[in-house]
A and B are shown apart, each in its own frame.
Chain A
Amino acid sequence: MTTTTHDHHDDHAHHGPAKGLARWLFSTNHKDIGTLYLWFSFAMFFLGGVFAMVIRAELFQPGLQLVEPAFFNQMTTMHGLVMVFGAVMPAFVGLANWMIPLMIGAPDMALPRMNNLSFWILPFAFAMLASTLFMEGGAPNFGWTFYAPLSTTYAPPSVTFFIFAVHIMGASSIMGAINVIATIINMRAPGMTWMKLPLFVWTWLITAFLLIAVMPVLAGVVTMMLMDIHFGTAFFDAAGGGSPVLFQHVFWFFGHPEVYIMILPAFGVVSAIIPAFSRKKLFGYSSMVYATASIAFLSFIVWAHHMFTVGIPFAGELFFMIATMLIAVPTGVKVFNWVTTMFRGSLTFETPMLFSIAFVVLFTIGGFSGLMLAVAPADFQYHDTYFVVAHFHYVLVPGAVFSIMAAAYYWLPKWSGRMYNETLGKTHFWLSFVGVNVTFFPQHFIGLAGMPRRIPDYAVQFADFNMVSSIGAFLFGASQLLFLFIVIHTIVAGKKAKAKPWDGAEGLEWTVPSPAPFHTFDTPPKVD
């Protein structure tokens, strides 16, 4: 990046973006790539949402009405995979692309061409994954956790395409993570010292290290599956000296940090928004950084809490129970800090703030059920029931997804140069808030009462709450169409936004005009 001083090097700053499709296909601009990631994730959010609607429609009443059990299993699997790898993760990478350079005063991401590549392989991965729905034998039907041997010996032929798609997604994530790390370490503006970094940048830095640590593990586990299926190995087959339990250890060694990959950047987003609308500095900045780092560390030593019932030894149960409960400590610190930031502030409740407050409350409820699940003896009753479904949807939907929506409303003026309509935004918030709770709160009850997850039909005593849950899901699903409308309406017809539309907001991103020009910070800003 030192070549920018050569005079013969043409001066990008005075070029606009390329015209037409070429702008998007060949883009190396962090803002354009960020936009691509965000739209892609939005599209996947709707695709995964359609699968969820099929699931909730079938579960509206007991009995089999709409789909066959075999197809139902494909829906739960595809819903999970598309939402995790297609909607939530790319959305955060999109936010990182747009905001990290703007927040640290860098002209672009450190590795712009790799940035282009890491995005453009994603649509192929998901096209391939979605195409399995039309293959003989159907799409993957073994759950997003794809436990062997259901996903190996007993899998439909499309499993090979699934494996390849996961490889591509993993490569994309690893490249994205390398880019984030290289950018944050090398491209901070002079004076942007470590403990001045916005928390969003910190949380993403730590997330990127998690990604680099665990995506290869995911690649490893699907490769072992591939070998078992096609090349006669027996990693996961006890008859050949392997073990199905090995699969679960390897998978969750990836899978547990993965859930923090989906929530740490959310912490960063909320840590930007709550101070802005409280007009008060974030309480306990440095403890937030340390808490994030401790959560990341602990996330590597708790994986077997997903496996309390597979028959791990007593000492193992005890260790994983204690380690898991410990995560509640740094997570609690975060929640207390956000609440204390609001305390004695000067609060207003624009849409990003509403989503952030709902995030804190509902994520905390998800955290509570997480603490309950960590208690190993009790987990024998909760495991693989709707209680778990309720738990992880509370941390992922009003958790991760709400934070992404908060971020979208908060930074949309910077991205598009236009303000969204506040009334519509609030309407979207309240519909989503009600929808999410009506969908997922009753699932705690049916789980405790004994309904297993991943079943297409259920005993009659679970009927009422399933119907409530389905109604909530339809409401939540429909309100996202409003979100789409709001975003498009803002871009084409929103009122012009000021450089800094939020009076309490802080950070370098608000020092550039709205919309942020194609090139920003060609000369680094001074940070003091």
Chain B
Amino acid sequence: MPSKLLKGGVALFAVLLSAVTQADWTLNMPQGVTDISDQVYSLHMLTFWVCVGIGVVVFGVMFYSIIKHRRSKGAVADNFHESTAVELAWTLIPAAIIVYIGIQAFPVLKNMYDFEDSELTVEIVGYQWKWRYTYLSDDPTQQVSYFSNLATPAEQIRNRTDKGENYLLEVDEPLVLPVGSKVRFVLTAADVIHSWWVPQLGVKKDAIPGIVNESWTIINEPGIYRGQCTELCGKDHGFMPVVVQALPQAEFDEWMAGKKEEAAKLAELTQKDWTYDELMEVGESVYQKNCASCHQANGEGLPPTFPALKDSPIATGDVMAHIDIVVNGSAQNPAMAAFGPQLSEVDLAAVITYERNAWGNDTGDMVTPVDILNYNAGQ
């Protein structure tokens, strides 16, 4: 009876083990599209096969004993119980294997830490629960900067519609990078620790508030590469994907020029005369993107952690207090971040107007981009 069960166990184990090797193409670490990710993959496979080798020997001896040296087969116990030579051998051989793996790992690690000679630097800032990408430039007015949010609709997450192909791994605006040139990342965070990971690039680095980390990549092939935040960062930690779109240099330059034009247009928009309806329309989309994860789409929040804005004292009270908390954040509770540095004047004005009039708040107040400019100037 036990031998049958044992054989069953061995068989199961064999199946599981063979699954490891057969499943290479979907279930192993990706080889990726950078030299680093490729080298890391080789290291991973090296240690994997070393482990398999050791496992075969050790478990081989063990199962041999289990099958041959059982009392039910009449085995009589030997009484050897010491051998310095054997002990020495199985201390030194594994030590040598480790030194070998260490030597293989050294150049890869060294390479990962070589941040010199980059052609482009992107600042990555983790926020609860989105990323901000800024293409650093010597001229700050020429800097392109934007947020990247989860694009998967709540209907899919709540199982009300079918899930798309890139469920939870899609964003409204990916990080766009040129192929073939060295891009340096500088990472930090605005609130808690996040970690920026794209498996295909072999890049993972923690984004820590108050600390600036570095990493880099050279992408070899154009394409779209998906990853996620990997450091627990609160409620929506599972909902802050990373998407990188790698473009050939010429297309990248084109994209960059378009982005700069957009920024110039936005500056004009601030000065334009906005109507209530226009503000409400923009406000709703800004709200869904930036505020609904905490205050909820229906404005009812998740009390006591995230207050309701429907009928809330600030959203239906003094306009200045409302602008203040959205622009500067809450002094009491860091979860309500300062949105001044995150949103444009247009977006700020629109979202505040929206909050003051949606869900039956109906204050009739209208806050314009120019009001925000004046508010900031007066600060």
* A residues whose Cβ falls under 8 Å from a Cβ of B: 62-65, 69-70, 73, 136-138, 141-143, 147, 149-150, 153-154, 156, 237-239, 243-245, 278-287, 309-311, 314, 317-318, 321-322, 325-326, 328-329, 332-333, 335-336, 339-349, 354, 357, 360-361, 364-365, 368, 371-372, 375-378, 380-381, 383-385, 426, 430, 433-434, 437, 441, 444-446, 448-450, 452-461, 465
Given contacts A346-B75, A450-B227, A459-B168, contact A372 B48 (CB under 8 A): yes
Q: Is the CB–CB distance between B81 and A284 below 8 Å?
A: yes
User: In the complex, A339 Cα to B63 Cα: how many Å?
Assistant: 9
Q: B52 CB to closest chain A CB, in angstroms? A: 8
User: In the complex, A221 Cα to B87 Cα: how many Å?
Assistant: 40
Which residues of A sit under 8 angstroms from B54, Cβ to Cβ? Answer: 332, 368
Q: Is the CB–CB distance between A377 and B237 below 8 Å?
A: no
Given contacts A375-B105, A426-B5, contact A452 B228 (CB under 8 A): yes
Contact partner of B58 among A284, A364, A377, CB < 8 A? A364
List 25 interface pairs A-B (beta carbons < 8 Å), by A numbering: A62-B168, A69-B239, A73-B235, A149-B209, A245-B211, A278-B69, A280-B79, A283-B80, A284-B81, A286-B82, A309-B195, A321-B105, A325-B101, A328-B94, A339-B62, A344-B78, A344-B80, A361-B13, A361-B62, A375-B43, A377-B36, A383-B230, A448-B29, A454-B238, A457-B238
Contact partner of A154 among B72, B157, B163, B192, CB < 8 A? B192
- Report if B317 contacts A (CB, 8 A): no
Q: Is the CB–CB distance between A381 and B29 below 8 Å?
A: yes
Q: B253 CB to closest chain A CB, in angstroms? A: 30
Q: Is the CB–CB distance between A445 and B81 below 8 Å?
A: no
Given contacts A284-B87, A326-B98, A452-B230, contact A314 B78 (CB under 8 A): no
User: In the complex, A145 Cα to B192 Cα: how many Å?
Assistant: 14
For the complex of A and B, 3 pairs with smallest distance between CB atoms: A238-B210, A455-B238, A445-B27
Encode contact with A along B230-247: 1 for CB under 8 Å, 0 otherwise. 111111111100000000
Q: B225 CB to closest chain A CB, in angstroms? A: 11
Q: Is the CB–CB distance between A285 and B81 below 8 Å?
A: yes
Q: Is the CB–CB distance between B204 and A238 below 8 Å?
A: no
- Report if B264 contacts A (CB, 8 A): no
User: In the complex, A385 Cα to B27 Cα: how many Å?
Assistant: 13
The stretch that binds A, out of B108-116, B266-274, B319-327, is B108-116
Q: Is the CB–CB distance between B65 and A70 below 8 Å?
A: no
Q: Is the CB–CB distance between B156 and A63 below 8 Å?
A: yes
Q: Is the CB–CB distance between B51 and A371 below 8 Å?
A: yes
Q: Is the CB–CB distance between A64 and B159 below 8 Å?
A: yes
Which residues of B sit under 8 angstroms from A460, Cβ to Cβ? Answer: 163, 165, 167
Q: Tell me the nearest residue of chain B to A280, going by C-beta.
A: B77
User: In the complex, A237 Cα to B72 Cα: how many Å?
Assistant: 65
- Report if B223 contacts A (CB, 8 A): no
Which residues of B sit under 8 angstroms from A426, Cβ to Cβ? Answer: 2, 5
Q: Assign chain B's interface to a size class.
A: 35 or more
Taking A62-B168, A340-B86, A457-B239 as known contacts, 18 extra A-B pairs with beta carbons closer than 8 A to each other, sorted by chain A number, are A70-B302, A70-B305, A156-B305, A280-B77, A283-B80, A284-B82, A284-B87, A325-B101, A325-B102, A329-B98, A347-B66, A361-B13, A368-B51, A377-B112, A381-B199, A449-B27, A449-B28, A459-B166
Which residues of A sit under 8 angstroms from B297, Cβ to Cβ? Answer: none
Which residues of B sit under 8 angstroms from A381, Cβ to Cβ? Answer: 29, 37, 40, 44, 199, 202, 204
- Report if B91 contacts A (CB, 8 A): yes
User: In the complex, A457 Cα to B228 Cα: how many Å?
Assistant: 12
Contact partner of A137 among B106, B108, B232, B304, CB < 8 A? B304
User: In the complex, A329 Cα to B99 Cα: how many Å?
Assistant: 11
Which residues of A sit under 8 angstroms from B106, Cβ to Cβ? Answer: 318
Contact partner of A336 among B13, B58, B64, B197, CB < 8 A? B58
Q: A38 CB to closest chain B CB, in angstroms? A: 27
Given contacts A156-B305, A309-B195, contact A346 B69 (CB under 8 A): yes
Q: Is the CB–CB distance between A342 and B30 below 8 Å?
A: no
User: In the complex, A329 Cα to B70 Cα: how many Å?
Assistant: 29
Which residues of A sit under 8 angstroms from B291, Cβ to Cβ? Answer: none
User: In the complex, A309 Cα to B213 Cα: how many Å?
Assistant: 9
* B residues whose Cβ falls under 8 Å from a Cβ of A: 2, 5-6, 8-9, 12-13, 16, 19-20, 23, 26-30, 36-37, 39-40, 43-44, 47-48, 50-51, 54-55, 58-59, 61-62, 64-66, 69-72, 75-83, 86-87, 90-91, 94-95, 98, 101-102, 105-106, 108-110, 112-113, 156-159, 163, 165-169, 191-193, 195, 197, 199, 202-206, 208-211, 213-214, 227-239, 302, 304-305, 334-335
Q: A124 CB to closest chain B CB, in angstroms? A: 27
Q: A427 CB to closest chain B CB, in angstroms? A: 10
Q: Is the CB–CB distance between A73 and B237 below 8 Å?
A: yes
Given contacts A62-B167, A287-B87, contact A344 B232 (CB under 8 A): no
User: In the complex, A187 Cα to B370 Cα: how many Å?
Assistant: 82
Contact partner of B2 among A147, A237, A349, A459, CB < 8 A? A349
Which residues of B sit under 8 angstroms from A446, Cβ to Cβ? Answer: 27
User: In the complex, A448 Cα to B202 Cα: how many Å?
Assistant: 12
User: In the complex, A376 Cα to B227 Cα: how many Å?
Assistant: 20
User: In the complex, A453 Cα to B54 Cα: how many Å?
Assistant: 28
Q: Is the CB–CB distance between A345 and B90 below 8 Å?
A: no
Q: Is the CB–CB distance between A342 and B82 below 8 Å?
A: no
Q: Is the CB–CB distance between B76 and A346 below 8 Å?
A: yes
Which residues of B sit under 8 angstroms from A70, Cβ to Cβ? Answer: 235, 302, 305
Q: Tell me the nearest residue of chain B to A448, going by C-beta.
A: B29
Contact partner of B109 among A287, A318, A340, CB < 8 A? A318
User: In the complex, A395 Cα to B200 Cα: how many Å?
Assistant: 29
Contact partner of B66 among A311, A326, A357, A455, CB < 8 A? A357
Given contacts A322-B102, A345-B78, contact A243 B69 (CB under 8 A): no
Q: A272 CB to closest chain B CB, in angstroms? A: 15
Q: Is the CB–CB distance between B230 and A142 below 8 Å?
A: no
Q: Is the CB–CB distance between B163 and A62 below 8 Å?
A: yes
User: In the complex, A445 Cα to B305 Cα: how many Å?
Assistant: 36
Which residues of B sit under 8 angstroms from A154, Cβ to Cβ? Answer: 191-192, 234, 334-335
User: In the complex, A322 Cα to B48 Cα: how many Å?
Assistant: 17
Which residues of B sit under 8 angstroms from A377, Cβ to Cβ? Answer: 36, 39-40, 43, 105, 108-109, 112
Q: Is the CB–CB distance between B234 and A279 below 8 Å?
A: no
Q: Is the CB–CB distance between A244 and B208 below 8 Å?
A: yes
Q: B100 CB to closest chain A CB, in angstroms? A: 10
Which residues of A sit under 8 angstroms from B210, Cβ to Cβ? Answer: 237-239, 243-244
Q: Is the CB–CB distance between A349 and B195 below 8 Å?
A: no
Which residues of A sit under 8 angstroms from B335, Cβ to Cβ? Answer: 154
User: In the complex, A285 Cα to B233 Cα: how many Å?
Assistant: 47
Q: B46 CB to closest chain A CB, in angstroms? A: 9
Q: A463 CB to closest chain B CB, in angstroms? A: 9
Which residues of A sit under 8 angstroms from B98, Cβ to Cβ? Answer: 322, 325-326, 328-329
Which residues of B sit under 8 angstroms from A453, Cβ to Cβ? Answer: 230, 232
Q: Is the CB–CB distance between A314 and B167 below 8 Å?
A: no
Which residues of A sit under 8 angstroms from B203, Cβ to Cβ? Answer: 380
Q: A18 CB to closest chain B CB, in angstroms? A: 43
Q: A91 CB to closest chain B CB, in angstroms? A: 25
User: In the complex, A326 Cα to B37 Cα: how many Å?
Assistant: 25
Given contacts A239-B210, A372-B51, contact A64 B158 (CB under 8 A): yes
Contact partner of B232 among A62, A143, A378, CB < 8 A? A143
Q: Is the CB–CB distance between B102 and A73 below 8 Å?
A: no
Q: Is the CB–CB distance between A332 and B94 below 8 Å?
A: yes
Which residues of A sit under 8 angstroms from B13, Cβ to Cβ? Answer: 361, 437
Q: Is the CB–CB distance between A63 and B157 below 8 Å?
A: yes
Which residues of A sit under 8 angstroms from B213, Cβ to Cβ? Answer: 310-311
Which residues of A sit under 8 angstroms from B234, Cβ to Cβ? Answer: 73, 141, 150, 154
Q: Tell me the nearest residue of chain B to A387, going by C-beta.
A: B29
